[in-house]
Amino acid sequence: VLRRLALLLVLQPAIAGAHELLHETRPGGAVAVRVYHPGGAPLADAAFEVAPPGGGPLLRGRTDRNGWLAFVPDAPGTWRVRVADGAGHGAEIPVEAGASASTPPPGGGPAWLLRPALGAAVVLLIFALLQRALRRRRA
Amino acid sequence: VHVPDGFLSPQITLPALGAAVPLWALAARRHFGPEALEAIPALGGLTAVAFALQTVAVPVPGGTSAHLVGAALLALHRGPLAAFACESLVLLLQALFFGTGGVTVLGVNALALGLLGPLAGWLAFLGLRRLSPRMAHFAAGWLALQVSALAVAGALALQHRLDPGYLPVPGGASLLSMMLPSLAVSGPAEALFTLAAMAVLRRARLDGAAA
């Protein structure tokens, strides 16, 4: 019995470690989170959900083959990432989003005005050249 | 409303291009020869307006967007063949410089947006102008957009029928996503635009073929 208890004590960190998950985050415009086992093996194809500060999950998906997931925070504060696979492994990871995390303006800047103006100018130029050519031909 | 590059196979794009080329030649001879010199500035202005209208997409509930075409106005001004040529120029410039539509699908888009729609609008105008010119202008704008959207949806549905692997979207889904915004939003907007623009052209004595 003592030998069995001693074996259990020796192996206990490894058993507990199998249910522990580590992670690393790379904040920026988008936040990338990698989840992996203590031995370094990635938690691939595991379900995850992302919740904004004070809110319920708004993004669900599965990690890629290297254990990565990514999202773009659109509000500052602490976001929560929950990852779990079907074997009892899971983690809730807080991700801090800075004040720069804000909803981008719709339309992508002045392109909405430049495109029609530039296109209309090109059309007018083509018709002006056509008119000039026709006038010369008539003369 | 445009079909983007890669959505239709050569089985559809090549026959469409084959149908469009002789019509472009005919339109160039009829509407862009020396005798059309005086009409060129107004036609150019309306084509520029059509280009601008087509680049401004308005978000529509359901995750899609809609835009005006302006080709019905061109058809009412100088006839459906002139509208076909001008709309084709718009589509070509959009494909080459703005990444909208595409060169391989130019024939399909030109026939749908430049010919079938404006032709339907033109015929609606001819049928209704004795009852009320304003109603005829309104109906021409509305019908032109519906027929164009229907033609694009038809091309997408045909592609799915020919090869579902090439375009996995079923025909019914294409039809719904094209026709709902067209019937509810862009169609009425195009009708109002055509009505207002024709009133302006009449005051400026530039209403051309629809006078």
Question: Which pLDDT band holds residue B57 (cuts at 50, 70, 90)?
Answer: confident
Mean pLDDT of A86-97: 82
Higher-confidence position of B82 and A137? B82
Q: Does the pLDDT value for residue A20 go beyond 80?
A: no
User: Which residues of A are less than 8 Å from B93 in CB distance?
Assistant: 119, 122-123
Q: Does the pLDDT value for residue A26 go beyond 80?
A: no
Distance from CA of A117 to the nearest CA of B (A): 7
**B56 has a chain A CB within 8 A of its CB:** yes
The verdict on a CB contact (< 8 Å) between A116 and B51 is yes
**Partner-chain residue, chosen from B40, B49, B97, that has the shortest CB–CB distance to A127:** B40
**B73 has a chain A CB within 8 A of its CB:** no
User: Which residues of A are less than 8 Å from B52 in CB distance?
Assistant: 116-117, 119-120
**Partner-chain residue, chosen from B45, B56, B97, that has the shortest CB–CB distance to A112:** B56
User: Which residues of A are less than 8 Å from B97 in CB distance?
Assistant: 118-119, 122
State pLDDT tens for residues A28-66. 678 899 998 888 889 899 999 999 999 999 899 999 999
- Strand-pair category, A47-51 with A77-84: antiparallel
**B34 has a chain A CB within 8 A of its CB:** yes
Q: What is the DSSP letter of A42?
A: B
Q: Does the pLDDT value for residue B69 go beyond 80?
A: yes
CB contact at 8 A, A43 and A21: yes
- Distance of alpha carbon B69 from alpha carbon B88, whole angstroms: 12
Measured CB to CB, residues of chain A less than 8 Å from chain B are 112, 115-124, 126-128, 130-131, 134-135, 137-138
**B22 has a chain A CB within 8 A of its CB:** no
- Distance of alpha carbon A125 from alpha carbon B53, whole angstroms: 18
Give the chain B residue nearest A124 (alpha carbons).
B44
User: What is the pLDDT at residue A14?
Assistant: 47
Which residue type sits at A46? A
State pLDDT tens for residues B133-181. 999 999 999 999 999 999 999 999 999 999 988 888 888 888 888 888 8
User: What is the pLDDT at residue B65?
Assistant: 72
- Distance of alpha carbon B72 from alpha carbon B105, whole angstroms: 21
User: What is the pLDDT at residue A9?
Assistant: 55
State pLDDT tens for residues A58-73. 899 999 999 999 998 8
Q: Does the pLDDT value for residue B62 go beyond 90?
A: no
- Distance of alpha carbon A102 from alpha carbon B125, whole angstroms: 50
ipTM field: 0.88
Angle value at C-alpha B142, between B13 and B200, nearest 5 degrees: 110
Mean pLDDT of A5-11: 59
The verdict on a CB contact (< 8 Å) between A123 and B51 is yes
Task: Show the tokens assigned to B203.
Answer: 């005051």
pTM of the model: 0.73
Distance from CA of B162 to the nearest CA of A (A): 34
Q: Does the pLDDT value for residue A111 go beyond 50?
A: yes
User: What is the pLDDT at residue B149?
Assistant: 92
Question: Which pLDDT band holds residue A15 (cuts at 50, 70, 90)?
Answer: very low
User: Which residues of A are less than 8 Å from B51 in CB distance?
Assistant: 116, 119-120, 123
CB contact at 8 A, A31 and A65: no
Q: Average pLDDT of chain A?
A: 80
Question: Which pLDDT band holds residue A18 (cuts at 50, 70, 90)?
Answer: very low
Kindly report the three-state secondary structure assignment for every residue of chain B.
CCCCCCCCCHHHHHHHHHHHHHHHHHHHHHHCCHHHHHHHHHHHHHHHHHHHHHHCCEEECCCEEECCCCHHHHHHHHCHHHHHHHHHHHHHHHHHHHCCCCCCCHHHHHHHHHHHHHHHHHHHHHHHCCCCHHHHHHHHHHHHHHHHHHHHHHHHHHHHHHCCCCCCCCHHHHHHHHHHHHHHHHHHHHHHHHHHHHHHHHHCCCCHHHC
User: In the beta sheet, which residues pair with residue A48?
Assistant: A61, A83
Burial class (CB in 10 A: 0-12, 13-18, 19+), A80: middle
Mean pLDDT of B64-88: 92
User: Which residues of A are less than 8 Å from B40 in CB distance?
Assistant: 127, 130-131, 134
User: Which residues of A are less than 8 Å from B89 in CB distance?
Assistant: 123, 126
Distance from CA of A67 to the nearest CA of B (A): 30
Listed in sequence order, the DSSP H helices in chain A are: 2-17, 111-138
User: What is the pLDDT at residue B176?
Assistant: 87
Question: Which pLDDT band holds residue B112 (cuts at 50, 70, 90)?
Answer: very high
